[in-house]
Every structure is written in C-alpha cells, then in structure tokens.
Structure 1
Amino acid sequence: MERIAGQFGRVEPRLRARQLLLGLLADLPRKNCWTIAEHTGDATPDGLQHLLGRAKWDADLVRDDLRAFVLEHLADDQAVLVMDETGDLKKGTRTVGVQRQYTGTAGRIENAQVAVYLTYTSRHGHAAIDRALYLPKSWTSDPDRCRQAAVPDDVGFATKPQLARQMIERTLDAGVAAAWAAGDEVYGDNPHLRAALERRQLGYVLAVSSTHRVPTPAGGQRADRLAKKIPKRAWQKLSAGRGAKGHRWYDWAQIAITAPGPAGHQHLLLRRNRRTGELAYYRCYAPRPVPLSTLVKVTGSRWTVEETFQSSKTLAGLDEHQVRRWDSWHRWVTLALLAHAFLAVTAALERRDQTLADDGTSPNGLIPLTCNEIQRLFTALTARPTRDLAHRLRWSTWRRRHQARAQRSHYRRQAALQP
C-alpha cells in the first residue's frame, strides 16, 4: 500500500483501496463489493463502488507500480513474457466487452467477457503485470453502447495479438529485462506480432497450427507435412519443466527456417507426446544461436500463465467482479492482480531462501509455501484472526507435509513408469 499510496490524491480512496485488497486476499466464498464490504465491517457497499466507479485515480499508474513491484523481486534477464487470454462468464449485454464468443474457460461459445494478460515469468517466480480488455466489433461499431459503458472515444477495435503486442512494447519501453516471449496459436499464427517481436530483438517460442505455412527453399509448406519428413534419430527426449506430478517429458525436434526479416535464427520446433504421439508445433526466433534445451524451457514456461489465471481467480477474485463500465473493470482487475502479485512474490521469496530436493521438497520434508497457503496464513493471522497462532501454524505444517508426501508419491510413480 505504501508503494501505490501516491496514486490516490485523498486519504479516503487510499483507505478504500486497502480495504478492497484485504477483501480480495480474504477467505471469502465469493468476492465482490457486497461481500467484501460486509467482511470488512461496512454497512453498505457504497464506498467500494465509489472507489471503482467515480473516485479519481488512474488504474494504469497502479499497473505500473504493480510491474515495478514484481520486477523488484522476480527480475531475470532471461525472463519470458507470456501472453494469453481468459474469459469471464457474464450474464446480460451491458457489461463492457460482453458478447457470445468462444472462451477457453468454458471450452465453448458462451456469453463472456475476454481479456488478454501478460505474465512475467522468471527463474524466481511468475506474476501477471499487464491486462487489456478485448472489445469485439459488436462493441466498437456501436458508439452508443460504448458511451453507456464509458469506453474512451480513442479506443477502437484491436485483435488479441494487437493487444498483446501493445502490452509487450509497453513493458519493454519501461526498461523491463526479458529475453523471450511465448504464447499459443492465436499469437503464433499472427505474422505482424512475430515481425514486431523480431524488430525488438525479443526471442519467441509461439505455438502455431498444424496448417501453418513455414518458409522453405522449396516454398511454403505446412508444418504437419514437414513433421513427417523428420528422421527418427532427430527426436530428443527433454523435459519441458517440472509440474505438480513430476517432469513434463516429451520428444522434441527442430527444423531450421530461412525467413525474411531482421538478422537472427528461426526454427520450427516440434513436440511429440510420448504416450499418444500427438504433435504440437512452434515458431521460434532468437537473435543469437541457442540450444534446443533453451527453446524447450521457454515452451514450458507458457504454462505459467494458466497457473496465474487459476491462482488469481481462485485466491484474488480476478473474475468475480460485478462491474459494467470500462474504468471499473480496469480498476478491479488491476487491484486483483496486485493482490495476487503479493502472494506470488511472497511465495518466490520463500523458495529463494530454500534448497529443494529433486522432488521439490525442502530438507524438513515440506513443500515450499504456496500462494494458497500464504493466503490462508495471511487471512488467519493478519486479516481476520479467529484462532490462536499455534493452531494456525500446526495446520499449515500438516497441510504442507501431506502435500509433500503426495508429491513424492507422484514422482516415484512417474519414475517407475519411465522406460
């Protein structure tokens, strides 16, 4: 709160922002202005609704403070900027950006609000540092509808890759140290985004579709057809990173690409599931030569954005807002990301001070503190103490020991199944 206090000209919105952050970090079954106001002792939700809708403060300046906070603790010159979108299911038609559209949250077309997020992923940890609301053409082509939702006049239609590009360029212009970008097919199949990253000399590993055409001396060829020409000896077994149940082992191969554009090294990277044989395809660019293992590591970092979505929604109420207007959405989401960044950074600092075994446990037989566990302790000891300290710490130790036993069991089972 000391970091962002200067963004509020009056003490009242500053205290309301603190109140909202404490509510977002609280152990509530659902988080919105009503439930948080009740939890923090207010008689009505009017104060929090005023903070989100009418109070004078700039959510973009708080976003810049959020980014600086994350960089202060997680900075890494080999960090990856991971871009992805997520949808929040909403009812009605008046909430800004809502329409019937596909969202991976539901896995089908639903009435939803979609936004693109940028996650900073380093060897120390990961947290979201920027956000952009996607406005479909049904909104940008209807000035009256935009006016009712207080959408600024200078906001026009932008595709998801364009929103991701704007966030990446804003991040790099702020002096953020990063070496790579990663994203799924929505971003990898977009040539304008890839070209923009190459101009900034930012390496990337972006998923592409099987029908993606790859430049070759014989002309453009589909990625899936090139995959059929790879000899068996070209495949290598490598881990894409450690997950909750062990290392994510896949077979990998790469094909060098000669493509127009800034100097650098381009490849088509292929990933093969060792059990099903299913293939995935990636366009890669690096300003300097890098080994295959580095590209695989960057590919694995893309899953951190999914972890960020799940954690920020479950623990910080990212998707539980009940606001309809442009400014209100940006204010809620920015404070929710700030609340989640507090948990993510605290967890990263805990891991940084420990030497972990190969199975991810510490010498005392516990897994490191997770965002979930930090939120439980924070709620119990700071936000709303309902039990004595010894009781809460005993339960924390029990949960972490139980999780450590489960994790060791997963690793042993995986080791037994490996050829």
Structure 2
Amino acid sequence: MLSHTLHERFESYLEALAPRLGHADRVPSFKDYCYGLMLSLPRKSVEPIAASVDPARVQARHQALHHLVAKSSWSDQALLMGVAQWVLPYLPADTPRYWIIDDTAIRKKGRHSVGVSRQYCGEIGKQDNCQAAVSLSVATEQASLPVAWQLYLPTSWTDHPERCRQAGVPADVTFATKPDIALQQVGQTLEAGIEPGIILADAAYGKKTSWREQLAEWGLTYCVGVQEDLSVWAPGSDPLPSRWSGIGRPPKHVRKPDEDQPVSVKALALETDDFQTITWREGTNKPLASRFAALRVRVARGRQYREPEWLLMEWPQGADEPSHYWLSNQPASTPLNTLVRTAKARWRIERDYQELKQEVGLDHYEGRNWRGFHHHASLCIAAYGFLVAERLRCREQKKISLFPAPALPEDYWPRGHATGTATRQ
C-alpha cells in the first residue's frame, strides 16, 4: 500500500513542473494526465486515463486531456528541462556521467500516424511498420533520464509535404538523419546548461567520422561504436605529413608512406593477441565479462590528419571473430577496464525504453499528429522522471510501485464497445 507521503511528493513534483506548461488553464489536465500515467492501467491512452481520473465525467475529461496532448502548444523542451532540473541533482556526483544517444521504435498499424513507415524495429529485430524516435539520456551506473526526444521522419514523409501537413508536422521540419537529430539534441542540451557526460552511442551513430569530429569540436568526450570496416592506421604505421616547402601555412593533410597502409579495425583485431578478460558489472545471474583489447590508432578516412584515439575491441571467449568495436577520445592514460565499463554503460538506455513503455505507457498513444506524439512522450518522461528520482532518493528500495488504479463505475463502457445485455467481464 502506497503511503500518502509518496502522493504528496508527486503533487509537489507536478507543482514544480506546472509553470513549464506556459498557461494556468493547462495545469489541471497536466496533473490528471501525469497521474493517469502513474496508475496501474493496462492501457494508458487518453480515454482510459480520463475514465480513471474522473469516472463521473469521462467524456468531458477525455476532451480536456485530448486538448492538452494533441492541440495545446506548450513546449516539450521546456517541460523536459524542468524534469531534468528536478531529477538530475539526485544522480550521484562521485560516479562517471554519460550522455546516451539511441533510438527506439514504436510499432503501429496503418499509414496515417505521423512518421510511420516500414523500417527497422529493434523490438523484433527486423523491418516492421513503426515510428522511430531519437533520444538523449543523462545517465550514471545507478540511473538514467531522457532529456531530449524527437520523432524521426523518413523520406516517405518529408518528400510529401501534404502528408506532413495533415499530420501537423511543423513547416520548418525537414528531413534529418538520426545522427543529425542526435547532434541537434546534444547542442540543445549543452545550451540548456546540463553538465556534459561521456557520449555513448552505437555504430549507427559512431560510424560517421564527421559526427564524431563535431562532438570533439564541442569539447566532448565520446566512446561510440564503429563498424568492422572502419579504416585506421595501426600503431607504428602513422601517416606521413605532406611535404612542406617552408612557404605559407604548414599542410594539414597527410600522405601515405610507401610501405604502410591503413587497415580495417577487424583486420587489426585479428592480428592482436593480447585480449584480456574484463568484468564490467554484475548481471542478473552472474558477473558480465568478455575478452577485450585496446590500441591507440588514427582514423584513416580522408586526408585530414587526425589525433590518436582508443580503438576498443571485444572478442568473446569461444567466438570465431571479434564482435564489437568502439572508438574513444578518452585520455591516452585511460586503463582498459575503464574503457570497457564506459563502452558497456550504454545498456541503461534499453532500461529507459523498457520502463517508459511498460511502466508509463510511452507506446500507448493512439493519436496521429506530430504534437500529440511529442506531448505524450514528454508527459511519459515526466512521470518516469518522478520514479527515477524516488528510486535515487530511497536507494534501499529497488522498485517504486505505481499507484493502484481506481475501480471504474459499473455503467462505464469504453468507446466503441458493444453495450448489449451481456454481463460485463
């Protein structure tokens, strides 16, 4: 049974966030919607929430909640920054901090929901009809919180302005790749004054040299996945500087030596014989461990001279070949076990997505427009943020339960339900 104190803290939390909505008239619906997301409901779309928070006036409450989510013009970024200001101070200050970039898919039927298309769905590991959103989470080993969230629009949408208009996509939203969206989110989060962390991302993001270079230009540290065909200069085979006549500026480009040539990171890993077994954290049933090696290399794409970076390679015991590769601009003095723990810290984003969907109904929104998609996600992150803060505040409790759902009136029927004489089950 939840204590009244928890409800009071949730009310204080919502009061602190309420000014982010921009207008006092939105606050009652904001509180109702967030409270509904915290209830133990099987479905957390607008109507079940309306029926649970105001069972005597379901239709009126439904209209108010629908207006808040699908039509009202409050700022998602402002609300998410308010959530961050409340939650992030609870993160331990004496542990490494990460900014985790990733994307998640939400499966959908039909073709009218904004951004829906046949694309890769990580939930099932293959192509499916779904929406995809890019997020940035601030994390430590103990907890994580999304602070940015944006729908990815494939060209099947951006190449058809009328389709976008019907779904309420703002006119200034044009096609952007997922890495482009992620860079925008990093820039916005820096501008918001949130303490930077080590950027973590998989190879879908880290494979782009220009993407990594932008992070470095902003002064950020990263440890990101790369693909096995990435070309690098192996240790001891650095490229030669271009010849300089002594007149004008020294050249920044490099020339390849006569004998040494760049190699793929896979080829380099296959030639490396000093893989070590490293345990990076405790798993559910046993410690998580694998075999790793790290080398200082220079990326060989293009003729631009690049500083040395860490190439971290994983080759599980018994596997025929290496399985994962990361590039990191962490200091040259960084120990191997620190590199491994950093690379593997990205697992927390999967927990974010799982709990956002299973606990607070991130994937339950039934509307079709751009604003509703983002507003529902922001409100879900607000509810999730309270759970994160409570877990960090009460560290002896590994799980903070949702609020129990109230009983619905006997005469309540969901919209579209056949209301014949059959007994309600």
- TM-score of the aligned structures, taking structure 2 as reference length: 0.80
Q: Using the TM superposition, give the Cα deviation of residue 338 of structure 1 relative to its aligned residue in structure 2, in angstroms.
A: 1.1
Structure 1: how far apart are the matches of 2:90 and 2:366? 32
Q: Using the TM superposition, give the Cα deviation of residue 288 of structure 1 relative to its aligned residue in structure 2, in angstroms.
A: 5.9
One-letter code aligned to 2:72? A
Tell me the alpha carbon deviations over residues 61-80 of structure 1, each in whole angstroms, 9 at most, x when there is no partner.
11221222232222647311
Residue 247 (structure 1) aligns with: 287
Q: Using the TM superposition, give the Cα deviation of residue 224 of structure 1 relative to its aligned residue in structure 2, in angstroms.
A: 1.2
Q: Which secondary structure does the structure 2 equivalent of 1:270 belong to?
A: strand
1:214-363 equivalences in 2 (<5 Å): 214-216=232-234, 217=237, 218-231=260-273, 234-259=274-299, 265-276=308-319, 278-286=322-330, 289-351=333-395, 354=396
Residue 414 (structure 1) aligns with: none
Residue 196 (structure 2) aligns with: 178
Q: Which secondary structure does the structure 1 equivalent of 2:329 belong to?
A: strand
Identity, % of aligned positions: 29
Tell me the alpha carbon deviations over residues 21-53 of structure 1, each in whole angstroms, 9 at most, x when there is no partner.
111111111110011111112422211111112
- The 3 A distance-change label for structure 1 pair 265 and 348 is farther
Please tell me whether residue 95 in structure 1 is matched to residue 113 in structure 2. yes
- The 3 A distance-change label for structure 1 pair 56 and 210 is closer
- The 3 A distance-change label for structure 1 pair 61 and 123 is same
Q: Using the TM superposition, give the Cα deviation of residue 385 of structure 1 relative to its aligned residue in structure 2, in angstroms.
A: 9.8
Q: Which secondary structure does the structure 2 equivalent of 1:274 belong to?
A: coil
| Correspondent of 2:29 among 16, 19, 31 | 16
Tell me the alpha carbon deviations over residues 190-211 of structure 1, each in whole angstroms, 9 at most, x when there is no partner.
1121111111221211112222
Q: CA contact under 8 A between 1:264 and 1:286: conserved in structure 2?
A: no
- The 3 A distance-change label for structure 1 pair 316 and 207 is same
Structure 1: how far apart are the matches of 2:324 and 2:178? 21
Structure 2: how far apart are the matches of 1:163 and 1:289? 32
Structure 1: how far apart are the matches of 2:73 and 2:171? 19
Q: Using the TM superposition, give the Cα deviation of residue 348 of structure 1 relative to its aligned residue in structure 2, in angstroms.
A: 1.8
- More divergent stretch after superposition (55-64 vs 261-270): 261-270
One-letter code aligned to 1:369? K
One-letter code aligned to 1:43? V
One-letter code aligned to 2:315? R
Residue 375 (structure 1) aligns with: 401
Please tell me whether residue 68 in structure 1 is matched to residue 81 in structure 2. no
- The 3 A distance-change label for structure 1 pair 319 and 34 is same
Q: CA contact under 8 A between 1:264 and 1:287: conserved in structure 2?
A: no
Structure 1: how far apart are the matches of 2:332 and 2:382? 35
Residue 78 (structure 1) aligns with: 96
Q: CA contact under 8 A between 1:184 and 1:206: conserved in structure 2?
A: yes
One-letter code aligned to 1:38? A
Structure with bigger gyration radius:
2
Q: CA contact under 8 A between 1:205 and 1:285: conserved in structure 2?
A: yes
Structure 1: how far apart are the matches of 2:118 and 2:299? 38
Q: Which secondary structure does the structure 2 equivalent of 1:248 belong to?
A: strand
One-letter code aligned to 1:35? P
Q: Using the TM superposition, give the Cα deviation of residue 271 of structure 1 relative to its aligned residue in structure 2, in angstroms.
A: 1.2
Please tell me whether residue 28 in structure 1 is matched to residue 72 in structure 2. no
Structure 1: how far apart are the matches of 2:79 and 2:175? 24
Count of aligned positions: 362
Residue 361 (structure 1) aligns with: none
RMSD of aligned alpha carbons:
2.2
Q: Using the TM superposition, give the Cα deviation of residue 140 of structure 1 relative to its aligned residue in structure 2, in angstroms.
A: 1.0
One-letter code aligned to 2:333? P
Residue 47 (structure 1) aligns with: 64
Structure 1: how far apart are the matches of 2:225 and 2:280? 14
Q: Using the TM superposition, give the Cα deviation of residue 298 of structure 1 relative to its aligned residue in structure 2, in angstroms.
A: 0.9
**Where does structure 1 lack aligned partners over 5 or more consecutive residues?**
355-367, 387-419
Structure 2: how far apart are the matches of 1:250 and 1:138? 41
- The 3 A distance-change label for structure 1 pair 326 and 229 is same
Tell me the alpha carbon deviations over residues 321-351 of structure 1, each in whole angstroms, 9 at most, x when there is no partner.
1121111111100010111111112112222
Q: CA contact under 8 A between 1:70 and 1:129: conserved in structure 2?
A: no
Q: Which secondary structure does the structure 1 equivalent of 2:102 belong to?
A: strand
1:194-233 equivalences in 2 (<5 Å): 194-216=212-234, 217=237, 218-231=260-273
- More divergent stretch after superposition (277-286 vs 96-105): 277-286
- The 3 A distance-change label for structure 1 pair 67 and 262 is farther
Give structure 1 regions of 4+ aligned residues with deviation exceeding 4 angstroms. Answer: 259-265, 383-386
| Correspondent of 1:132 among 139, 146, 150 | 150
One-letter code aligned to 2:339? L
- More divergent stretch after superposition (192-201 vs 304-313): 192-201
Q: Using the TM superposition, give the Cα deviation of residue 369 of structure 1 relative to its aligned residue in structure 2, in angstroms.
A: 2.2
Q: Which structure exhibits the higher relative contact order, with contacts defined as CA atoms closer than 8 Å and separated by 6 or more residues?
A: 2
| Correspondent of 1:144 among 142, 156, 162 | 162
Q: Which secondary structure does the structure 1 equivalent of 2:288 belong to?
A: strand
One-letter code aligned to 1:55? S
**Where does structure 2 lack aligned partners over 5 or more consecutive residues?**
1-13, 238-259, 409-425
Residue 16 (structure 2) aligns with: 3
Q: CA contact under 8 A between 2:18 and 2:27: conserved in structure 1?
A: yes
Q: Using the TM superposition, give the Cα deviation of residue 247 of structure 1 relative to its aligned residue in structure 2, in angstroms.
A: 2.0
One-letter code aligned to 1:61? A
Q: Using the TM superposition, give the Cα deviation of residue 272 of structure 1 relative to its aligned residue in structure 2, in angstroms.
A: 2.0
Q: Using the TM superposition, give the Cα deviation of residue 320 of structure 1 relative to its aligned residue in structure 2, in angstroms.
A: 1.0
Q: CA contact under 8 A between 1:96 and 1:325: conserved in structure 2?
A: yes
Query: Could you say which structure has the higher helix fraction?
Result: 1
One-letter code aligned to 2:269? A
Q: CA contact under 8 A between 2:84 and 2:145: conserved in structure 1?
A: no
